Structure 1
Amino acid sequence: MTSEPEPDSAADRPRAGNRSSARSAKLSREVIVNAALTFLDREGWDGLTINALATQLGTKGPSLYNHVHSLEDLRRTVRMHVVDDILQMLSTVAQGRTRDDAVMAMASAYRSYAHHHPGRYSAFTRMPLGGDDPEFTAASHAASVPIIEVLTSYGLDGEDAFYAALEFWAAVHGFVLLEMTGVMDTVDADVVFSDMVLRLAAGMAHRSGARG
């Protein structure tokens, strides 16, 4: 009579190679990019490397190259995701709002995103924004569209709206950077931020009136 192998025999235990293959099979480009986004907020842009991300995913660096071509490919994809997130966020908070209400909502949402996702925000503002990548340049310019659309409620359009949107971004981005470096620690940053945005909004209305 032939005895059956014990349940805990070597024949029944998965081989190390099989475990590795099963783990690698769970990887995909989407999984890797999402992990990179989470990694960014914890470790920062400069900390994002293939090997560091692979360690977070419980695998080895070469496994990631089955799904991303290079570190630059991964970083570019991450930045595209962040730009799209910011575009969607600004579009959402601006819905149904006009003028000062819309400007304050967008500025507050932008500031909140930067504070909750510092690593992703760093990826978004990392220079150069576009460089020789036409797709990324177009995506980063698209992020200004919701702002420009709101500025039309002040009667601004064309070049006036474009430059006003740049001023808006420069002011809010500058404020966020000052907060991140601790410059605003000695003041009520919320009050200063609200005052700044309202002054920006008043300037939009004044510019429109002056043009008229």
Structure 2
Amino acid sequence: MSPRIGLNTQTILEAAALLADQEGIHAVTLASLSKKLNVRPPSLYNHVEGLGGIRKELAVLGLRSLYEEMASAVRDAEKGEAVCDMAKAYVAFAKNRPGLYDATLLKPAGEDKRIEEAGERIVNLALSVLKDYQLDDVSAVHAVRGLRSIMHGFATLMQIRAFGLPYDIEDSLKMTVRAFLAGLDARQTK
């Protein structure tokens, strides 16, 4: 069977990302994707390795896109402002691309070096932004984990509309990140 003209891996991935953003990552199935692309499900196998392959590709795309947003946000900022800007970019990415963000959190079956490398780039970016806090290697990893927890927590709570009070969420995020950074600063004075 010959592949449908115009159908390729990139087209499938774009449709899957859009579907994930509109309806959620778990709405991305071979059936829903083939319907969106107006093809029979077996046609997708000419371009992707089934649903697992699509999820891997979405994870890679999501991690790379998240990295680009975060890296762009910190380009001209320093120390605490860079960390706040990075957190803001992370939360904005999750808000603007909810399905693609959720794809970054999936653990697709089988190993994929691209997913590992894309994740490492994000960790290395966070480590570089935190370098001014003079943390040893172990403390730096703990700090990155803590910062990720803050960012993911805000992103998740925003997605489920859990912030009901009429106060600016970005101000809340900035205040929380600054309190976290004050804790890192306090470690240096002990």
Match of 2:163 among 167, 179, 184: 184
C-alpha contact 1:94 1:146 (8 A) present in aligned 2: no
Alignment CA distance shift 1:134-1:63 (3 Å): closer
Q: How do residues 12-27 of structure 1 correspond to structure 2 at under 5 angstroms? A: 24-27=4-7
Match of 1:147 among 97, 103, 126: 126
Q: Structure 1 residue 39: deviation in Å?
A: 1.2
C-alpha contact 1:131 1:137 (8 A) present in aligned 2: no
Q: Which residue of 2 aligns with 1:103?
A: 83
Q: Which residue of 2 aligns with 1:60?
A: 40
Q: How many residues align?
A: 187
Which structure's CA Rg is the greater one? Answer: 1
Distance 1:49 1:204 in 2: 44
Q: Which residue of 2 aligns with 1:117?
A: 97
Match of 1:133 among 111, 115, 127: 111
Distance 2:129 2:170 in 1: 23
Q: Which residue of 2 aligns with 1:36?
A: 16
Q: Which amino acid aligns with 1:35?
A: A
Q: Which residue of 2 aligns with 1:193?
A: 173
Q: Structure 1 residue 137: deviation in Å?
A: 3.4
Q: How do residues 164-175 of structure 1 correspond to structure 2 at under 5 angstroms? A: 164-175=143-154
Find the residue that maps to 1:67 and give its secondary structure.
Answer: coil
C-alpha contact 2:56 2:112 (8 A) present in aligned 1: no
Q: Structure 1 residue 49: deviation in Å?
A: 0.7
TM-score, normalised via structure 1 length: 0.81
Q: Structure 1 residue 138: deviation in Å?
A: 4.0
Report Cα offsets for 1:67-97 as digits up to 9, x if no partner.
Answer: 0121101111110111111112222211232
Find the residue that maps to 1:26 and give its secondary structure.
Answer: coil
TM-score, normalised via structure 2 length: 0.89
Q: Structure 1 residue 114: deviation in Å?
A: 0.7
Aligned-pair identity in percent equals: 25
Distance 1:73 1:134 in 2: 10
Distance 2:70 2:109 in 1: 24
Find the residue that maps to 2:163 and give its secondary structure.
Answer: helix
Distance 2:15 2:70 in 1: 24
Distance 1:117 1:205 in 2: 33
Distance 2:41 2:112 in 1: 29
Give unpaired runs (5+ residues) of structure 2. Answer: none
Q: Which amino acid aligns with 2:99?
A: G
Q: Structure 1 residue 190: deviation in Å?
A: 2.9
Report Cα offsets for 1:158-211 as digits up to 9, x if no partner.
Answer: 22211111100001111221222232112412332221111122122222333x
Distance 1:60 1:200 in 2: 51
Distance 2:182 2:109 in 1: 34
Higher relative contact order (CA 8 A, sep 6+): 2
C-alpha contact 1:175 1:193 (8 A) present in aligned 2: yes
